[in-house]
Amino acid sequence: MIGRKPEFVCIGAQKAATTWFHRVCQARSDIWVPPFKEVHFFDHKFCPENRRWIEAGLVRGVERAAERHRKNAREKRGEPPDGAYLAYLDSLLEQPAFNGTWYKRVFSRAPDRLKCLDVTPEYSTLSEEGVDFLAHFLKGSRFIYILRDPADRAVSQLKMNLTRRKIRPKTEAAWMKHAKDPVIANRGDYKTYVPRWRARFSDLHLLFLAYGDVRERPREVMRSFEAFAGLDREDPWGLTRVIHRGGTLEVPESVHDYYQQVFADQRQFLVEEFGADFAGRL
């Protein structure tokens, strides 16, 4: 099984339309994506605290991909499932996993005529050592970093975290306890992470997109990506589709106010780094 590396990597940020980007690119005729959205190769290597849930997520991702394939074979083709494809999925669970050979195997099913894409938001928070390794390992690849207003991004992540854990805080103190989760602040620490990536990649290899543009002008966002990636123009299925809605959990104004204060310096950094016009579209 001959492996390969991805030509494009969407590194984040979390809760900044990366699922939309993944699904729209999946629907294109010139891009191949893995059978599960987030590969987690680089953060598994450099963020040991993530390894347990990353490894569990790989098992779930492979199982779901296999079940989807079997279901599609039954419902659409009425034929037996592709044994070679199922064997490929099984191979992703073989040890050792999450090394360079494994990463290249993930993309081994891609036809030569297609470009490969890895969408893993946790990559944006890699350490200096991690970004150095990635820059060497993926020399020549191009990276997409979608930025979202830091306070709005934090609210969205808080809602996601609580919904997944089936938690509904009853008091303001309980809300604030969850709001102060250091992981939320870390995911939105643009002051630390944006310069780290910019120091290693020029504008030819690192594209910043604004979350607000994804919501309001998705076709323009796709045109920007195509120009950056050297791809032909397409308007694939799902371009204007909302992938994740906010849900029914109502976050108190006190939490919104807290995030506005906590992330004021991050917002100012974004204005200084990208200009007021771009920052205003986040």
Looking up residue 250, the CATH number of its domain turns out to be 3.40.50.300
The answer to whether 33 touches 44, Cβ cutoff 8 Å, is: no
Q: What is the rounded distance in angstroms from the CA atom of residue 112 to the CA atom of residue 104?
A: 14
| Count of other CB atoms within 10 angstroms of residue 158 | 22
Do 214 and 17 touch, CB atoms closer than 8 A? Answer: yes
What band does 30 get if pLDDT is binned at 50, 70 and 90?
very high
pLDDT digits (tens, 9 = 90+) for 214-242: 999 999 999 999 999 999 999 998 898 87
Same domain, 128 and 267: yes
Using pLDDT thresholds of 50, 70 and 90, give the confidence band for residue 104: very high
Query: Is 183 a residue whose pLDDT tops 80?
Result: yes
Give the total number of structural domains in the chain: 2
Specify whether 193 is located in the same domain as 168: yes
Residue 111 resides in a domain: no
Confirm whether 3 is domain-assigned: no
Average pLDDT on 23-30 reads 97
pLDDT tens, 68-93? Answer: 999 988 877 678 899 999 999 999 99
Whether 100 and 172 map to the same domain: the answer is no
Q: Which 3 state secondary structure label does DSSP give 210?
A: strand
- Whether residue 250 lies inside any domain: the answer is yes
For residue 124, being part of any structural domain is answered with yes
Amino acid, res. 94: E
